[in-house]
Amino acid sequence: MLTSCVLAVAADWPQWRGPDRSGASKETGLLQKWPKDGPELAWTFENAGTGFGSCAVVGGRVYVLGARPADADGEKRIEQIIALDDKGREIWKADVGPMWYFGGNRWSGGPNSTPSVDGDLVFALGSQGTVVCVKAADGAEIWRKDLVKEFGAEISSGGFGPAKMGWGFSWSPLVDGDRLICTPGGAKGLFVALNKTSGKVVWQSAALTDPCTYSSPVVAEVGGVRQYIAMTQTGVVGVSAKDGSTLWEYRRDNPYPDVVCPTPICKDDLVYVSAWKAGCTLLKLAPDGGKFKAEVVYDKKEIGNAHGGLVRVDKSVYGGHDLGPWECQDFETGAIRWKSDALGSGSLIYADGCLYCQAADGEVALLAASPDGYKELGRFKPPKRSAHRRPSGKVWTHPVVSDGRLYVRDQELLFCYDIKGGGASR
């Protein structure tokens, strides 16, 4: 139901959470069990800058956002898109804008967004709300938009950080056909659709004036109606892909009590959302006079995901509950199948029958994607730790699987592992 929104081959991971933003790869032939010390390390790139953003991988080329020093003492940092070849060597870099940082921030410093790659174009969002489009070949800039100045963009920070800015803009732009879908939020509209080649405004959802959250939008087709779905501080909403008009809204009795980060999960006419300290909700979208009515199937205290994401595999949802145990939940009923504290809380993705999990302390584990119980198939720790992580920051970047390789990041350190067993050299 959730369709691919970029032109890419099956092995590519062209945007946040993969080809269709589900956190799942369609790759097969991957190792089903790791050696004692983990899979073979292909290469390490040590200058990715600071930030929690994940990477996009297309045709073996890797694109990542990071904040690098802009002065001699390293106090000022500039956010850049960085392109690497399949050996982990830097090809080019392109400036996005200054890093967002505020006094007292002990957790983060740098961009938390993931680039989106579409053919010969790369799109990226900086932490201060600048969207840029550059050429994939050399990083040459095509256009840029300042979402705060041009669209009045603002963030619902969940009560943390400066008003309207919080921890900085962190969602990842979505490519859908000839459009780039952004969620600036604010009085001028939550969603805006831009022409991807020119940056010109196609439409803005003026009827929805919610500030944006840290959650990324997704594209779905329900009952033959194409739509964009995004979480807000008070629930979740859907707008028409055609003109940005509101198709449906689900508003909670009380706003989410903390930051809202996880990406919605969609299947057919069902939409699953989760947020830290609040639990999860499954909605069924019922046709309602050309629009939809969001009916609650269940609303439970679990799984309340902080920012490590969730994946649906068949009839099960997997992810971490708050900053506690890993859990498996029945997607249709909300019943919990299993819980485990064997690995610290963290992020995950899915590929070839397995869950690729990284704990906040950096440890990486391979799990069987099974509702029958927690089963590890391997575990390792990357060989180095970041020297530039903020005092209270952890390893919070989501892993990536692309073309037989596993990518994990700890701030300036990006590690690439061979998970197909065919040898790391290419």
Q: Report the phi/psi class of residue 202: left, alpha or beta, with left for phi > 0 and alpha for psi in -120 to 50.
A: alpha
pLDDT at 74: 63
pLDDT at 70: 86
pLDDT at 71: 74
pLDDT at 5: 38
- Cα angle at 218 between 266 and 215, to 5 degrees? 105
Assessment of whether the complete model's pTM goes beyond 0.85: yes
pLDDT at 104: 87
Count of C-beta atoms within a 10 Å radius of residue 245: 15
Sequence spans of domains, the chain: 24-418
The fold of 24-418 is Methylamine Dehydrogenase; Chain H (2.130.10)
Report which of 268, 277, 375 is spatially closest to residue 331, judged by C-alpha positions: 268
pLDDT at 286: 97
Burial of 423 (0-12, 13-18, 19+ CB in 10 A): exposed
On whether the CB atoms of residues 110 and 77 are closer than 8 A, the answer is yes
Q: Consecutive 10-residue runs of the chain (426 residues): their mean pLDDT?
A: 43 97 96 96 98 97 96 82 98 97 90 98 98 98 98 91 95 98 98 98 98 98 97 98 98 96 98 97 96 98 96 98 96 98 97 98 98 98 95 96 98 98 62
